[in-house]
Structure formats: C-alpha cells, structure tokens
Structure 1
Amino acid sequence: MTIFSKIVAGEIPAYKVAENDEFLAFLDIFPLTEGHLLVIPKKEVDYLFDLDDDTYTGLQLFAKKVAIGLKEAVPCPRVGVAVMGLDVPHAHIHLIPMNDMSSINFSLPKQKFTPEQFNATAEKIRQAIG
C-alpha cells in the first residue's frame, strides 16, 4: 500500500482540497511553491499511463477543476502540470502555481511551511474550488 493509498484510507492525514468518489487533491508537503498540489486517483495504479481510459480522463478533468480553483486561490500567471511518478508508485499529477519557468524546477530546494500555513492555503483553495 502506497503512502497515497494510506491518505485515501485516512491512515495518514493530508491537507485535502478536493475529493470525490474516485479522485483526491491535496497539498504536497514538500512543495516547490505555495499551493503545490498532488492529484491522484483513489484506485492505486503505479503509472499514470497504465490507468484505464475512463479513470485517466476523469483524473484529467478533476485536475482541471482543481487547477482553476488553485489559480484563483494562489494568484499566478499559470498553473504548471508535471507527471514525474518516480517518488511514489501511485499515479499522480503535480499542479504547481507558476510565476516563471523556475517555479516548476524539481531540483530546487523545497519550500517549508508551518501546519497553520498549510491549513490556510488548503482552505483558500477549497473555497475557490467551491
């Protein structure tokens, strides 16, 4: 069971911003920028492109809705999308507020936020998503 499956099962807490029966979006606890999100299918599948077509397209549409709210909550010119998939063997999409190209550079040091800051950011995003 991956760490993401444990989050889905409620065994590990997360700063959730959106959820339905099939998908979940939550703050990355090692973010590149404020508002850096992970969007996952609740079904554990290792590789994004191994998802069945319905789950894949559903995940993309869910991520789009989340990205629109993210851009409103954390103002930025663009929300970047990245699929890395090497750290956790559970399909996931990174949504990253971008102010410039370096905002999505995974080799940069990760940002550090307090639990209060994470909670405040998550709440702003939840409100913007509706």
Structure 2
Amino acid sequence: MATIFTKIIEREIPAQIVAEDDKHIAFLDINPLVEGHTLVVPKAEVDYIYDMADEDYLALQAFAKKVAKAVKAGIPCLRVGVAVIGLEVPHTHIHLVPLNKMDDINFSRKKLNPSAAELAAAADKIREKM
C-alpha cells in the first residue's frame, strides 16, 4: 500500500511542495512545529533511512542541504535543525525545522495548525529562495 508521502508524490493528495527533482521531493509539514517546517522525502519508498543504498542516501542528504539553505533564507531563523525520526510514516523523511530556540525542534510539544493560506505563504517564501 502506498504511503501518504507516495500519494503526495503522485499528486493524489495536495501539499505545499517547495522543491522537487527526479528522485526527491520537499514539502511543508501540515502540522509543523514552527513556520517553514519542511519534510524532505525520496520518491522511492524505503521505510528506514539506513536501509537506503549509499548513493541514494547521499543524494537525499545533498537535496536536503539545498532545501535547508532555502528554508533558512526564506524563513527568519538562526539555523535549520535536522531530525530523522522515522516512526510516523513508513517512508524515509528528513525534518528540516527553522530554529530560533532549542524548543523549536521539540517533537513532544503541541504542533501548529496553520491555515491553507499560511502554509502557501510559507511555501512561497521558501520556493523564492530555491
């Protein structure tokens, strides 16, 4: 069964996509920790990041680096934090979280519930910097 991320990749579910190439996609988390919280995902379904072939893993990290630079340029923050948890969706993904304080990347805190317009505005800020 296709994951929710595959459904986004195949455009069966809408998402605020900020970057894409032939093997990767980056889109905003719909329940972000902070504005600009972005998920970077390989298009191939691999459940666990360390099960990826080395070449694919390195390509994903390079793509995430490009996206992180755009996130930092588009969303006011001191840094962009990186987290790979891998328990929520059985499809490898990297969280890029704009950071102004340590608690910004605390996954146990309450998530935001932005409107579609707020998500679109954040995505535009990031896309402008890609």
**TM-score past 0.5 threshold:** yes
In the alignment, which residue of structure 1 is the partner of 2:73? 72
* TM-score for both structures, normalised by structure 1: 0.98
In the alignment, which residue of structure 2 is the partner of 1:4? 5
Identity of aligned residues (%): 57
Alignment of 1:1-130 (within 5 A): 1-129=2-130
Structure 1 residues without counterparts, runs of 5 or longer: none
Cα-to-partner distance string for 1:82-124 (whole Å, 9 max, x where unaligned): 0000000000000000001100000110012110010011011
The code of the aligned residue for 1:62 comes to F
Runs of 4+ in structure 1 deviating by more than 4 angstroms, as ranges, are none
SS in 1 for 2:129: helix
Is the 8 Å Cα contact of residues 31 and 114 (structure 2) preserved in structure 1? no
Task: Count residues with an aligned counterpart.
Answer: 129
SS in 2 for 1:128: coil
1:75 to partner: Cα distance: 1.4
The code of the aligned residue for 2:125 comes to K
The code of the aligned residue for 1:43 comes to A
Task: State the alpha-carbon separation in 2 of the partners of residues 124 and 103 from structure 1.
Answer: 19
* TM-score for both structures, normalised by structure 2: 0.98
The code of the aligned residue for 2:54 comes to D
